[in-house]
Homo-oligomer: A and B are copies of this chain.
Amino acid sequence: MKHVFHAAQILGSQRIPSSGAGHAAVNPATGETLEPVFHDATFEEIDRALRLAWSAHLAWKKRPLASRSALLDLVARELESVADDLVERGIAETGLPEARLRNELGRTTAQLRLFARHVEDGRLIESRSVAAAPDRVPTPAPALVLAMRPLGPVAVFGAGNFPLAFSVAGGDTASAFAAGCPVIVKAHPHHPGLSEIAGEAVARAVHESGLPEGVFGLIHGASPNVARDLVQHPLLAAVAFTGSTAAGLAIRDLAERRPTPIPVFAEMGSQNPVFILPARLRARGAETARELAAAITLGVGQFCTRPSLVVVQQGQACDRFVAELIQALDAQGGGVMLNPTCRDRFLAATAALNGAKGVQRLLEPSAEPRTCAVGPALFRSPLEAWASASVRDEEIFGPSSWIVTVEDTEGFLRLAGRLPGQLTAAIHGDEDDLSLMRDLLTLLEEKAGRLVFDGYPTGVEVNEAMMHGGPFPATTDSRFTSVGTLAVRRFLRPVCYQNLPPALRGHAERPNDPVWE
């Protein structure tokens, strides 16, 4: 490892060795504590980060769009220059295998460059104008220009499960930069070292870009006080969060209780139901079970899009499907979870589901006492037991799924109608299932941000047609996405300029709009 840790807050060009409480990462594969100790940011450090960010915002917004794409490209290059360090520390802090981390790094840099290209060609920064009509009666019409302007400093709370693509330089940061917003990342306390390596790469990119230093900051914090001080700081303009429901709601509540509330986009996960319709189950039950087992255990079930709920019609085809799924999950096996917190929550949640009335445990998750290795879990119940279970809508983060059996086609619709908001819902059907597919589509598009046909929800493409979001409680606002280029909209607001004098048009280079040139 070339990187030498400062274990400090990154506040623009300053590195502040903090006096706050300390925390260290743990290697989930060995249980070993990793050097160094990182410290919670103090209120003064958070205040300093926000003041730098605000001042950077006022300066950056006058710079041309090219400054945003240049920064995004530089961040991608700087990340690549420390790829080996990122992967080495990533393996130690998260237990993710090298191939996955290299792949995720590729996704992260490709994402940054995709946003850069879409900013450059003006697609993301809509603007529109209406010419003056001085002769209109009874009153002349003014000249109007509408431009999408950056909201201001954005706080990013990265995900534990994507330490690169949804973290320091991940999709939230990329979309905030594409919007022209400075970013302050709250490093995930389970991968602070990886966050520092990525954070230093972003800070170098900001420096090379010639943009003000306050365009990026990174603070550490294991205590909720750090999140509180950050979210409630008066100079913060928006929050992007990926993580648990409890943490997401706490952050939303903090933002709503500010004297000046700010938007929070929190992606809080979901069950991602997979509906396997009767004809398809008969025709392809065994193959579907094997594919599903792979989707459930992919990345040790640590994706927000893992299918935690499988809906099938009871009967012989169902029983064969279930037997095949048990066997396939057993064959797939488990793996090392990201950290002790995830492992403990996974074991507690599967234990709670096992205690639910009418729910049968088909696979008991194995666990090792010293490391974070776990095996897959599987449950089964009829629709009624699902409907009345108190733990029904709680996300189980890890390699677990719950097969809910329905008696007839009406049962599929009843379950769909009772679902809370979801990131995704999947429908597997054959020609003979078409009528039911239509009815399910009508219901499920009210419930989910993405509808997957004949496939599995894991694997979130990063492009302009992706929607990674969905109705509450999957996210806090179904009108936005956190993946794909449309994610930029979270951090833009329209501003209308009426009769802007020609002399002021040149005062700042503005988005690619002829009216501004």
Contacts from A to B (Cβ < 8 Å): 58, 61-62, 103, 128-130, 138-139, 141-142, 144-146, 149, 151-152, 256, 260-261, 263, 420-421, 429, 431, 434, 437-438, 441-442, 445-446, 448-455, 459, 461, 463-467, 469, 471-473, 476-479, 481, 486, 489-490, 492-501, 503-504, 507-508
Q: Which of B453, B471, B503 contacts A431 (CB 8 A)?
A: B503
Q: Is the CB of A146 within 8 A of B446?
A: no
Chain B hits for A58, CB < 8 A: 442, 446
Q: Residue on B with the closest CB to A454? A: B499
Question: Is A449 a contact partner of B498 (Cβ separation < 8 A)?
Answer: no
Contact check, B478 vs A493: say whether CB atoms are below 8 A apart.
yes
Question: Chain B residues near A495 (CB, 8 Å)?
Answer: 445, 448-451, 467
Number of identical protomers: 2
Q: How far is the CA of A152 from the CA of B472 in the complex (A)?
A: 14
Chain B residues within 8 Å of A446, by CB = 58, 152
Which single residue of chain B is at the shortest CB-CB distance from A257?
Answer: B256
> Which B residues are in CB contact (< 8 Å) with A129?
465
Q: Contact check, A472 vs B260: say whether CB atoms are below 8 A apart.
A: yes
Q: Are A451 and B498 in contact (CB under 8 A)?
A: yes
19 contacts between A and B (CB under 8 A): A128-B464, A128-B465, A142-B461, A144-B465, A145-B465, A151-B479, A152-B446, A261-B472, A261-B476, A263-B477, A263-B479, A451-B496, A452-B499, A453-B501, A454-B501, A455-B498, A469-B494, A471-B493, A479-B489
| Contact present for B453 and A499 (CB under 8 Å) | yes
Residues of B within 8 Å of A500, CB to CB, are: 451, 453
Q: What's the Cα separation between A322 and B451 when bound, in Å?
A: 63
Q: How far is the CB of A507 from chain B (nearest CB, A)?
A: 5
A463 with B494: in contact, given A62-B442, A431-B503 (CB under 8 Å)? no
Quick check: B449 and A494 within 8 Å, CB to CB? yes
Contact A496 B465 (CB under 8 A): yes
Nearest B residue (CB) for A249? B261
**In the complex, which residues of chain B have a beta carbon less than 8 angstroms from the beta carbon of A260?**
420-421, 471-473
Q: Kindly provide the distance from the CB of A508 to the nearest chain B CB, expressed in whole angstroms.
A: 8
Query: In the complex, A464→B441 CA distance in Å?
Result: 33
Closest to A494 in B: B467
Checking B142, B256, B464 against A146 with a beta-carbon cut-off of 8 angstroms, the contacting residue is B464
Instruction: Give the distance to chain B from A80, nearest Cβ to Cβ, in Å.
Output: 19
User: Contact: B494 with A453, CB < 8 Å?
Assistant: no
CB pair A479 B467 closer than 8 Å: no
B503 with A434: CB separation less than 8 A: yes
B507 touches A493 (CB 8 A): no
- The residue in A256, A420, A445, A446 that gathers the most chain B C-beta atoms within 10 A of its C-beta is A446
Q: Is B498 in contact with A450, judged by CB distance below 8 angstroms? A: yes
Contact: B141 with A504, CB < 8 Å? no
Of B62, B438, B445, B464, which is within 8 A of A130 by CB?
A: B464
Query: Which chain B residues lie closer than 8 Å to A469 at the CB level?
Result: 494
Contact status A453-B503, CB under 8 Å: no
Q: How far is the CA of A151 from the CA of B470 in the complex (A)?
A: 11
Measured in the bound complex, the distance between the Cα atoms of B144 and A445 in whole Å is: 15
Chain A to chain B: the 10 pairs with minimum beta-carbon distance, closest first:
A467-B496, A144-B465, A146-B465, A450-B496, A130-B465, A452-B498, A478-B493, A467-B494, A453-B499, A438-B507
Shortest Cβ gap from A501 to chain B (Å): 6
CB atoms of B499 and A146 under 8 A apart? no
Q: How far is the CB of A235 from chain B (nearest CB, A)?
A: 11
Name the residue of chain B whose CB is nearest to the CB of A129.
B465
**Other CB < 8 Å A-B pairs besides A144-B465, A260-B421, A261-B472, 7 of them?**
A62-B442, A130-B464, A130-B465, A139-B459, A260-B420, A260-B471, A438-B504
Q: Which residues of B contact A141 (CB under 8 A)?
A: 461
Which B residues touch A490, using CB under 8 A?
Answer: 479
- Given A452-B498, A496-B450, CB of A441 within 8 Å of CB of B504: yes
- Minimum CB–CB distance from A325 to chain B (whole Å) comes to 22
Contacting residues, chain B, for A454 (C-beta < 8 A):
499, 501
Contacts of A477 in B (CB 8 A): 263
Roughly how many angstroms separate A62 CA and B455 CA in the complex, as a whole number? 24
Q: A465-B129, A493-B479 are in contact. Are A455 and B142 (CB under 8 A)?
A: yes
